[in-house]
Amino acid sequence: MTDAFAAALLEWFDRCGRHDLPWQRERSAYRTWVSEIMLQQTQVATAASYFERFMQRFPTVEALAAAPLDEVLHLWSGLGYYARARNLHRAAQRVVLEHGGELPQDLEALQALPGIGRSTAGAILAMAHGRRHPILDGNVKRVLARVHAVPGWPGQAAVERRLWALAETHTPARRVGDYTQAIMDLGATLCRRANPACAKCPVAALCAARREGRQSEYPAPRPRRPRPLRHARMLLLRDKSGAVLLEQRPAAGVWGGLWCPPELGEENPESWGRRVLGAPVRTEPPLARVRHGFTHFELEITPLRARLDGAAPRLMESGRWVWYNARSPAKLGLAAVVERLIAALDGPDAGPATRKSP
């Protein structure tokens, strides 16, 4: 079956695979690495536009390593899972300092870099250098689980070991880069999570799940756990020019390193302004609450609007705070939900107290 599986997949890839993705046009280990990081938790269509902008600004690993983290996060804004961008930046700096600006071609050395796991390392080596290493991203897990009717959730250690063994078995010695792209393409375009296009699948004759009519059962889903609901009160404070006060969050944790409106806890905006800014703030009608989903919890944000009419003498110029003007935005990393909150300040639901920023 091993030879038949790879041969059928490669024949299909030659006819139907994706050959003109942005990271394929000029193949390199650096471009492959950035694309693989972006494609974690992100659809190809979304990642493609981000990738091209990212490469225009950071065409080399040296350019990425030398850039401020804020600018990296700015170009990542909207992709989510921002730890990927922070790890990419840290890894680029280590590649420059420890590997002379070249990504190592050793699997273990690659995996030692921040944000690069076994599958990502294997993809880089296979597609950039033609080295035979299996991969096991979400698409590949789904394909192999169906073809071999592997029971259980792939996040379980025993199931993952079984899938890695199958990935190793099926990976050919030749055309390994094409095979790696082919099996990812198959999972993304035909062997979809819902409504798989089995009639068009090049390995349908080898697929145990199809023979049994049980495609929807493989792979087994993650055991469902209720996601707790958390609450946050964010202060959307604007100065006389209409700029919004943002605070840089700690590097670790939710939205690490990104810029967000300050969270107030149970404090009201007036007392917060006196305590933190040393200035009076004028409360305005709040915006509608916003829900935002994370992997392990839901966040409900209550956006509180306020105005600062004078100066803020206690606002320390330590880099922790910035007045952000959406009309001429600085290159800062903002979570997508924060961008929506700022845009809503001048939206149709902002209320009569809101005026346009100059």
Look up residue 64 and give its two tokens. Answer: 């990425």
pLDDT digits (tens, 9 = 90+) for 234-260: 999 998 888 899 998 887 778 888 899
What pLDDT, on a 0 to 100 scale, did the predictor assign at position 323? 87
Decide: 339 and 347 in contact? Cβ < 8 Å. Answer: no
Asked if residue 320 lies in contact with residue 341, where contact means CB atoms within 8 angstroms, the answer is no
Residue 171 near residue 179, CB atoms below 8 Å: yes
Delimit the CATH 1.10.340.30 region(s) of the chain.
2-217
The catalytic site residues sit at: 36
- Residue 8: count other Cβ atoms within 10 Å of its Cβ: 17
* Beta-ladder partners of 305: 236, 284
Q: Which residue has the tokens 């600062």?
A: 308
Q: Does domain 229-344 have CATH number 3.90.79.10?
A: yes
Distance CA 284, CA 150 (A): 57
What one-letter code names the amino acid at 302? Answer: T
Question: CA triplet 351, 357, 358: central angle to 5 degrees?
Answer: 150
pLDDT less than 50: residues of the chain: 348-358
Question: What is the tens place of the pLDDT at every residue in 50-109?
Answer: 999 999 999 999 999 999 999 999 999 888 889 999 999 999 999 999 999 999 999 999
Instruction: For the domain made up of 2-217, give the CATH fold.
Output: Endonuclease III; domain 1 (1.10.340)
> According to CATH, where is 3.90.79.10 located in the chain?
229-344
Q: Which pLDDT does position 349 carry in this prediction? A: 46
Per-residue model confidence (pLDDT) at position 147: 97
Torsion, Cα of 175, 176, 182, 184 (10° steps): -170
- Does this model's pTM top 0.85? My answer is no
Task: Report the pLDDT value the prediction gives residue 214, as an integer from 0 to 100.
Answer: 95
pLDDT at residue 313, rounded to an integer: 62
**Helix, coil or strand: residue 164:** helix
Q: For residue 305, which phi and psi values (nearest 5 degrees)?
A: -95, 145
